[in-house]
Amino acid sequence: MTFTIATFYKFVPLAELDSLQEELLAHCQQWNLRGTILLASEGINATVAGSSQDINYLLRWLRHHPDIGPFAHQEFTASTIPFERLKVKLKDEIVTLGRPDVDPNQQVGTYVDPHAWNQLITDPEVFLIDTRNAFEVEMGTFKGATNPDTRAFRDLPAYVEANLNPAQHKKIAMFCTGGIRCEKATSYLLKQGFEQVYHLKGGILNYLTQIPPTDSLWQGECFVFDDRVAIDHALQPTPYVLCGGCGHPVSVVEQASPHYEPGIACPYCYTTLSPERRAQLTRRQHLH
């Protein structure tokens, strides 16, 4: 059986979050969906998986909801569902920047279609920023992109304040996995006085879907937030696995390291993993 994975978000003012959470949970359980849906006063952010028909039921219900309405989504297929369970969570933000004065419902940068992205980012006047976390950038990024070396999205404002200046950086382009982080980042930059700010519509996933490898400026793999771990340019899973100890993606080469213990530790945490944590993970391995 082939399963459908749908990822989508929308910045839209939402109220009565408790009742919306209950409705969504009930519907998703009825439709046998798994994945994660985040709700906040600023909008909705989700990646869910199930049969194509059940995914369509959810998308149709959301798009007809009076508080949500139309939104774009992206679909991928997989031979297994890459989630163990369903989670519908209430959050302060659907993507955490930690700056409550930033509101993408009021202003965001200019959306750039994947087919226009190459021309934009090869413009020498454009400063290209990867808004994802450092470990994601290490796995793959666009040619010429700057790595802010952040551990979490909420670290990005500190990078901007220390390294960017509206008077010097006239054109800034930003991207992320599915579009949500870079969209919110452009809202933040506009509030800081930057004027020409662009972001990749639909993110890396949309670009990989639309741009053939022969024309692509993408290099490497793309980390995804489900059991697939990472995908290649053809949107197929790659042999990365997640470390049970620290959650860091582990490549095939790193899996051959003497410091890699499946489900327990990897070269990134082998020497720092506490004995208590190691014992806990070892017991879990034995139970499985």
Nearest-angstrom CA–CA distance, 119 and 117: 5
Catalytic residue list contains 176: yes
The neighbour count for residue 172, using CB atoms within 10 Å, is: 23
Name the residue type at position 17. Answer: L
Q: Are 221 and 205 in contact (CB under 8 A)?
A: no
**DSSP code per residue over 177-221:** SSSHHHHHHHHHHHHTT--EEEEETTHHHHHHHHS-GGG--EEE-
H-type helices in 7-49, by residue range? 17-30
* Catalytic position from the list 176, 243, 266, 269: 176
Q: Are 10 and 71 in contact (CB under 8 A)?
A: yes
- The residues that are catalytic are 176
